[in-house]
């Protein structure tokens, strides 16, 4: 039997079919909101080769995942503390080797990171858009998958495609959904349409984690290269993100026994 281990790490990836729906902004600000709830976490830029997290933070990291892969740096040299409790692992931009990693290289990377990751309660992975091998295998390895969609029909069909491919290729059935850039009504309708498609064609239902309102403060925060959490913490979009963080923290508490004793990057289902 598993013993309860309050220190167990939950890995959660943010993914989408369509690009530009808000993954990096949501990952970063969920990081702040979870940190404010008292959790220690690491945010990993997994948009390998097209890194963005550092840009949203206005940082120019000296070292990144590429140095770790090549053996030029140790994990602790690459991690940056953004705030106490909130750390990031930056990736590199314009590095094709990172995008084209095979499974052996990905396993080697996570072997190097294993000890480091064990020190956190959450590992948040900001994935690239689409259904590349790297995206699919990282999504499969994570314990929680948050599919981010907007009410646009193209985002919805691409979101469904990501779920369908992960299910068909890897048998994954547990997905959470966040609808971004949406009113409550739009979000309800968007979730229902996606959920119905999964129920009817794939045979499972989705978990609704909530929605994030369309808010000009998000764009303004990006332009200022300051996280929304600091730029406009009282704005509607950040309040929505904080509410979602609360649900994720609740999920961790509820599933702590399932998490304990497992490696952070392993599916529950």
Ligand X SMILES: Nc1ncnc2c1ncn2[C@@H]1O[C@H](COP(=O)(O)OP(=O)(O)OP(=O)(O)O)[C@@H](O)[C@H]1O
Which residues sit at the interface with ligand X, rule CB under 6 A?
Answer: 16, 19-25, 47, 52, 129, 180-181, 212, 214-215, 218-219, 222, 237
Among ligand X, Mg ion, none, partner that 161 touches (CB below 5 to 8 angstroms by kind): none
Using CB under 5 A as the binding criterion, the count of chain residues that bind Mg ion stands at 3
Q: Which stretch binds Mg ion (CB under 5 A): 50-58, 168-176, 245-253, 261-269?
A: 50-58
Q: Is 24 in the site for Mg ion (CB under 5 A)?
A: yes
**Looking at beta carbons only, is 9 or 190 nearer to ligand X?**
190
Helix extents (H) in the chain: 23-36, 53-57, 65-70, 75-78, 96-99, 103-117, 133-141, 153-170, 184-197, 216-223, 228-231, 236-254, 256-259
Q: Is 23 in the site for Mg ion (CB under 5 A)?
A: yes
**Looking at beta carbons only, is 131 or 260 nearer to ligand X?**
131
User: How many helices (DSSP H) and strands (DSSP E) are in the chain?
Assistant: 13, 8
Number of Cβ within 10 Å of residue 254's Cβ equals 10
**Looking at beta carbons only, is 9 or 238 nearer to ligand X?**
238
Strands 80-83 and 86-89: antiparallel
**Looking at beta carbons only, is 8 or 80 nearer to Mg ion?**
80
Minimum CB–partner distance for residue 47 and Mg ion (Å): 5
CB 209 within 8 A of CB 176: yes
Q: Is 9 in the site for Mg ion (CB under 5 A)?
A: no
Q: Is 52 in the site for Mg ion (CB under 5 A)?
A: yes
Among Mg ion, ligand X, none, partner that 20 touches (CB below 5 to 8 angstroms by kind): ligand X
Number of Cβ within 10 Å of residue 184's Cβ equals 12
Task: Find residue 179's DSSP bridge partners.
Answer: 149, 211
Cα 60 versus chain centre, distance: 21
Minimum CB–partner distance for residue 88 and Mg ion (Å): 13
Q: What are phi and psi of 238, to 5 degrees?
A: -70, -35
Give rounded-to-5 percent helix, strand, coil for the chain: 50, 15, 35
Q: Which stretch binds Mg ion (CB under 5 A): 38-46, 48-56, 62-70, 167-175?
A: 48-56
Q: Which residues bind Mg ion (CB under 5 A)?
A: 23-24, 52
């Amino acid at each position: 039997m598993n013993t309860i281990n309050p220190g167990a790490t939950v890995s959660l990836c943010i993914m989408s079919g369509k690009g530009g729906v808000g993954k990096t902004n949501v990952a970063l600000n969920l990081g702040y909101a979870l940190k404010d709830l008292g959790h220690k976490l690491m945010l990993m830029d997994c948009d390998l080769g097209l890194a963005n997290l550092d840009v949203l933070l206005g940082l120019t990291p000296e070292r990144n995942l590429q140095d770790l892969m090549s053996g030029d740096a140790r994990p602790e040299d690459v991690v940056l503390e953004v705030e106490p409790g909130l750390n990031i692992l930056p990736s590199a931009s314009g590095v094709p080797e990172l995008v084209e990693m095979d499974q052996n290289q990905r396993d080697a990377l996570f072997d190097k990171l294993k000890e480091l990751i064990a020190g956190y309660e959450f590992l948040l992975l900001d994935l690239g858009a689409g259904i590349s091998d790297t995206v699919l295998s990282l999504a499969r390895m994570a314990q929680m998958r948050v599919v981010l969609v907007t009410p646009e029909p193209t985002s919805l069909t691409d979101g469904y495609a990501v779920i369908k491919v992960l299910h068909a290729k890897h048998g994954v059935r547990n997905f959470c959904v966040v609808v971004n850039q949406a009113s409550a009504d739009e979000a309800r309708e968007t979730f229902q349409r996606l959920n119905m498609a999964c129920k009817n064609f794939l045979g499972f239902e989705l978990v609704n984690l909530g929605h994030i309102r369309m808010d000009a403060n998000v764009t303004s925060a990006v332009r200022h290269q300051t996280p929304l959490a600091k730029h406009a913490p009282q704005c509607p979009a950040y309040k929505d993100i904080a509410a979602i963080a609360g649900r994720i923290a609740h999920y961790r508490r509820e599933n702590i026994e399932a998490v304990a004793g497992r490696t952070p990057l392993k599916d529950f289902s």
